[in-house]
């Protein structure tokens, strides 16, 4: 019975990013099954999952092909490592497939079990790269405030979440954060174009201040996801690319959310028009069916790193079952033309409806790229005023109203966000909008 499960959960299970006292997780909804874009809970309620789990179930739930791929691989070779001089077919095939899909000369993959581990790999990769080139002091990584790059000590240091930095002794040394390109919240009197340029030029100012010979890399999400789906103004990314080129700074695109179709291309870097030296991947790589991530690096980095023994690796780097599942996921994404479905069908339809949300009295800006979108909630559109973001305030009320209407939509401060499975049909989108509007109207009445 649900109540019994909830009691056991409250007694023994510590939830990530939650208050684990009685108020935080008591009465958590128990999800038991899922198919397509719908979850079912232990009471038999069907919930439309507009977050694709945690931005990851790109092909939707319940695809037997992935279960079969996992079972086949478990029977044949459930585990072996890829340390030293051993390898196996799923890791080889997946690395080769990723080299084919990734743009430019991003041809080499270092596997991990998720995005946090992959970003930890990146910290050590870029520092080792510069050390091998005789620039051991070129070891500062610049990131952005309000970025999310994971929860391990290294990746959370790269991230710019104030609440995370307040706990557990992070960031580690030699990580520097510049401001995010969030025009709605921080643009003041500037136009979005002016603001985009100004925020990109903070990278140049930081490099000049810290020293060109000290800055190893800049890391960013093509579209900032967990920070609230912050879409940079159009002027931002070309300027960032120019600055990285000018000062010989490696550009790391964290594609953990943006990769594998989310933005209407295989990778978010293609959508925003940048040429990263390293891409972090996870989530949509296996559509969340198995824990796997990695770093895809360019030819030059692979060659330089190849000159030394890189003393880094995880027991589950290239795990054969996870790799087999990821390969099957990529086959489905490709053969069923899901990226094209996003670009040509689902995203244009969603965009037209999403942007109309700006007419709702509670909504300020409505931003969308492909199948990730956000709205800023505001008490006054003209001044772009903010609601408070403490528990009990509007973001929480909206989220709870959505949950009550069997819709999973997340809130980040004063923004509400979605990132649904990419296989959402047009009628799923209509259904999602009915629930979103009902929830917003109810929240307004509260
Ligand atoms: N990078 C980005 C952009 C993410 O959104 C996330 C997770 O949400 C991570 C890294 C961390 O990935 P994981 O939770 O698989 O460690």
- Spans in the chain with pLDDT lower than 50: none
Q: Ligand 1 mean position to 128 CA, how many Å?
A: 23
Rounded to a whole number of angstroms, the distance between the first and last alpha carbons of the chain is: 32
Judge whether 439 and 396 are in contact, CB under 8 Å.
Answer: no
Judge whether 380 and 332 are in contact, CB under 8 Å.
Answer: no
Tell the residue nearest (CA) to atom 13 of ligand 1: 115
Ligand 1: residue of 150, 156, 291, 316 to mutate (most ligand atoms within 8 A of CB) is: 150
Q: Is the CB of 91 under 6 A from ligand 1?
A: no
The predicted pLDDT at position 23 comes to 63
Beta bridge partners of 106: 298
* The model's pTM: 0.97
Q: How confident is the prediction for the chain on average, in pLDDT?
A: 96
Tell the residue nearest (CA) to atom 7 of ligand 1: 150
Ligand 1: residue of 54, 230, 255, 283 to mutate (most ligand atoms within 8 A of CB) is: 283
Q: Ligand 1 mean position to 182 CA, how many Å?
A: 20
The size of the chain, in residues, is 446
Rounded Cα gap, residues 439 and 416, in angstroms: 12
Q: Is 209 left (phi over 0), alpha (psi -120 to 50) or beta?
A: alpha
Q: Is the CB of 154 under 6 A from ligand 1?
A: no
Rounded Cα gap, residues 262 and 297, in angstroms: 21
- Please report which helix (H) or strand (E) contains residue 156, including its range: helix 153-158
Ligand 1: residue of 257, 259, 287, 288 to mutate (most ligand atoms within 8 A of CB) is: 257
Structural domains of the chain ordered from first start:
36-59+337-445 (3.90.1150.10), 66-335 (3.40.640.10)
Q: Is the CB of 428 under 6 A from ligand 1?
A: no
Encode pLDDT of 181-207 as tens digits.
999 999 999 999 999 999 999 999 999
Closest atom of ligand 1 to 115 CA is 12
The predicted pLDDT at position 388 comes to 76
Rounded Cα gap, residues 137 and 158, in angstroms: 18
The contacts of residue 36 (CB under 8 Å, 6+ apart) are 60, 61, 62, 421, 423, 428
Q: Ligand 1 mean position to 44 CA, how many Å?
A: 30
Q: Is the CB of 314 under 6 A from ligand 1?
A: no
Tell the residue nearest (CA) to atom 12 of ligand 1: 115
Q: Is 329 left (phi over 0), alpha (psi -120 to 50) or beta?
A: alpha
Q: Is the CB of 254 under 6 A from ligand 1?
A: yes
The complex's ipTM works out to 0.99
Q: Ligand 1 mean position to 280 CA, how many Å?
A: 9
Ligand 1: residue of 111, 115, 255, 293 to mutate (most ligand atoms within 8 A of CB) is: 115
Tell which residue, 42, 110, 70, 76, has the closest CA to residue 327. 70
Closest atom of ligand 1 to 116 CA is 16
The contacts of residue 40 (CB under 8 Å, 6+ apart) are 31, 32, 33, 34, 46, 47
């Amino acid at each position: 019975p649900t109540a019994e499960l909830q009691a056991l959960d409250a007694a023994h299970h510590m939830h990530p990013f939650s208050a684990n006292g009685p108020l935080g997780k008591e009465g958590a909804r128990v999800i038991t099954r899922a198919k397509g874009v719908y979850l079912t809970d232990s009471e038999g309620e069907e919930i439309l999952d507009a977050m694709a789990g945690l931005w990851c179930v790109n092909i939707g739930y319940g695809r037997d092909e992935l279960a079969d791929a996992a079972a086949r691989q478990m029977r044949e070779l459930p585990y072996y490592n890829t340390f030293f001089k051993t390898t196996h077919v799923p890791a080889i095939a997946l690395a080769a497939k990723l080299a084919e899909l990734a743009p430019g000369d991003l041809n080499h993959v270092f596997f991990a079990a998720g995005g946090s581990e992959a970003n930890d790999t990146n910290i050590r990769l870029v520092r080792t790269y510069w050390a091998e080139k005789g620039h051991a002091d070129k070891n500062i990584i610049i990131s952005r405030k309000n970025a999310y790059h994971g929860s391990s000590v290294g990746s959370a240091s790269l991230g710019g979440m104030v609440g995370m930095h307040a706990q557990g002794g992070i960031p580690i040394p030699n990580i520097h954060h510049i401001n995010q390109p969030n025009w709605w919240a921080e643009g003041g009197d500037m136009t979005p174009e002016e603001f985009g340029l100004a925020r990109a030029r903070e990278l140049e100012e930081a490099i000049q201040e810290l020293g060109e010979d000290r800055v190893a890399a800049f890391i960013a999400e093509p579209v900032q996801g967990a920070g609230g789906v912050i879409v940079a103004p159009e002027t931002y990314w070309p300027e960032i690319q120019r600055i990285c080129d000018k000062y010989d700074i490696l550009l790391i695109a964290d594609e953990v959310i943006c990769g594998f179709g989310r933005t209407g291309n295989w990778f978010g870097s293609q959508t925003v028009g940048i040429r990263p030296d390293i891409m972090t991947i996870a989530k949509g790589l296996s559509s969340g069916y198995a824990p796997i991530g990695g770093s895809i690096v360019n030819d030059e980095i692979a060659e330089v790193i190849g000159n030394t023994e890189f003393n880094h690796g995880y027991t589950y780097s290239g795990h054969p079952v996870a790799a087999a599942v990821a390969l099957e996921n990529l086959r489905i994404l490709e053969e069923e033309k899901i990226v094209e479905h996003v670009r040509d069908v689902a995203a244009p339809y969603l965009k037209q409806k999403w942007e109309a949300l700006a007419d709702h009295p509670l909504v300020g800006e409505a931003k969308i790229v492909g199948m990730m979108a956000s709205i800023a909630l505001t008490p006054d559109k003209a001044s772009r005023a903010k609601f408070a973001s403490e528990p009990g305030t509007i973001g929480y009320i909206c989220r709870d109203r959505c949950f009550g209407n069997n819709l999973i939509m997340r809130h980040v401060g004063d923004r509400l966000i979605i990132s649904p499975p990419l296989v959402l049909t047009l009628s799923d989108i209509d259904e999602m909008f009915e629930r979103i509007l009902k929830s917003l109207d109810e929240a307004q009445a509260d």
